[in-house]
Amino acid sequence: MMQAASFRKKLFYWFAQTSRPMPWHGQGAYAVWLSEIILQQTRFEQGLPYYLRFIENFPTVNDLANAPSEKVMQLWQGLGYYSRARNLHKSAQTIRDQFGGEFPNTYEDILSLTGIGPYSAAAISSFAFGLPHAVVDGNVYRVLSRIFGIEAAIDSTQGKKEFQRLADELLDQKRPGDFNQAIMNFGATHCTPQQPKCADCPFQKECQAFLTNRIQDLPFKEKKIKLKNRYFHFFLMESKDSILIQQRTGKDIWEGLFTLPLWEGNADEGISKHEWSEFCAKQGWKDAKYSLELVAEEKQLLSHQKLKMRFYKVKVPALFVEEYGVAKERLEEYGYPKAIAAFLKIKKAQ
């Protein structure tokens, strides 16, 4: 089995050839934290403009803590996994109220913040404060399982422990931040899920997956994700100056964001007259008649859900919209899921 010292040497050599400075490097723990949360489940190219926008709007953690939640959600719009934005805001308020506005500088205190798990706490404490905590994320699982030929399932408790133990053993105690960054970058750009660059890899001679032709089998997962189908029906109800939008509440996707009025069906078919009447009654709408015109259909794939979305134009009296809707000129003040923002823009362009 490859020695820890040799692993670090090769990894650091690769890192020195490929690393590029990031805008949050040397900018303190707040900037590191912001970048970490934004880049979770998000590609660097997609996340970078969001990071820059957040830092520009909220230069300090107190600025973020004091911002209205609508503003935070609006800046997050399009990035998905909206609970991250809510947690970010909540944690900023905790830092303001319980840590005197200073970003906490121990692993345990960082871990106590909302939305921070062991992975993020290890990343932030090592990047910002040089604390020796090994990061184990999807990239690290892949790199370690392939190079060391580990077949333990990464979604099992036993497997997680085994990978964490190995990562702790390999971690460079003097440069934990660089080590974590290097192994994550290596997984993200070199030892990628599909088509890793084995021909040009510093670990080729030791990599168990390469030597035994198991690259596509590792890392191993016990459970396959089952996608849930959901059928959303959105209703465009507008007058010349107003439009109906509603905020999502409850623990579900898009919590806190705004959408057109939404009804969820059980099957891949349009809404019936009876269902429409029930929906209107629930909403407390008296005047909305059943005159729906299907104007668009969209699909969206989330990590655990497959969404089929139908958009209907509903004929309603202007007075009705004035009563329940918001002024169109204020639409930009709210945060929306991507599909809704796109739909509203299409509408504006017409």
Q: Which of 162, 167, 165, 202 shows the shortest CA–CA distance to 186?
A: 202
Give helix then strand counts, H and E, for the chain. 15, 8
Report the DSSP pairing between strands 242-243 and 326-327. antiparallel
204 binds ligand SF4 (CB under 6 A): yes
Residue from 9, 53, 161, 197 touching ligand SF4 (CB under 6 A): that is 197
Give the shortest CB-75-to-ligand SF4 separation in angstroms.
36
Pick the binder of ligand SF4 from 210, 263, 276, 279 (CB under 6 A).
Answer: 210
Among 96, 146, 233, 310, binds ligand SF4 (CB under 6 A): 146
Show the beta-strand stretches assigned E in 200-304: 228-236, 242-243, 246-247, 258-259, 262-265, 292-301
Stretch that binds ligand SF4, among 50-58, 172-180, 193-201, 329-337 (CB under 6 A): 193-201
Q: Which stretch binds ligand SF4 (CB under 6 A): 14-22, 24-32, 209-217, 320-328?
A: 209-217
Task: Output the CA angle 92-95-98, nearest 5 degrees.
Answer: 140
Residue 314 found at the interface with ligand SF4 (CB under 6 A): no
Does residue number 340 form part of the binding site for ligand SF4 (CB under 6 A)?
no
CB of 296 to ligand SF4, least distance (A): 43
Q: ∠ CA(175), CA(178), CA(180), 5° rounding?
A: 105
Query: Are the CB atoms for 173 and 239 separated by under 8 Å?
Result: no
CB of 34 to ligand SF4, least distance (A): 30
Crossing angle of the two packed helices 118-129 and 176-185, in degrees rounded to 10: 120
- Does the footprint of ligand SF4 cover residue 198 (CB under 6 A)? yes
Residue whose C-alpha is closest to residue 142's, from 206, 205, 190: 190
Token representation of residue 322:
């004035």
Q: Is 323 a catalytic residue?
A: no
Residue 182 contacts ligand SF4 per CB under 6 A: no
- The CB density around residue 203, as the number of other CB atoms within 10 Å, is 23
| Interface stretch with ligand SF4, choices 2-10, 107-115, 172-180, 188-196 (CB under 6 A) | 188-196
Residue 75 parent element (H or E): helix 69-76
Least separation, in Å, of the C-beta of 230 and ligand SF4? 36
Contact 245, 260 (CB under 8 A): yes
Interaction of residue 201 with ligand SF4, rule CB under 6 A: yes
The string of DSSP letters for 22-52 reads -TTTTS-HHHHHHHHHHHTTS-HHHHHHHHH
Q: Which of 36, 151, 238, 275 is catalytic?
A: 36
By C-beta, is 96 or 190 nearer to ligand SF4?
190
Q: Does 147 bind ligand SF4 (CB under 6 A)?
A: yes
Burial 134-173 (b: 16+ CB within 10 A, else e): bbbbebbbbbbbbbbbbebbbeeeebbebbbebbeebbbe
| Site stretch for ligand SF4 (CB under 6 A), options 44-52, 133-141, 205-213, 304-312 | 205-213
Sites for ligand SF4 among residues 215-234 (CB under 6 A): 215
Out of 80, 104, 132, 196, the residue judged to bind ligand SF4 by CB under 6 A: 196
Binding map of ligand SF4 across residues 94-133, x = CB under 6 A, - = no contact: ----------------------------------------
183 lines the binding site for ligand SF4 (CB under 6 A)? no
Interacting residue ranges for ligand SF4, rule: CB under 6 A: 146-147, 190-191, 196-198, 201, 203-204, 207, 209-210, 215
Residues with catalytic function: 36
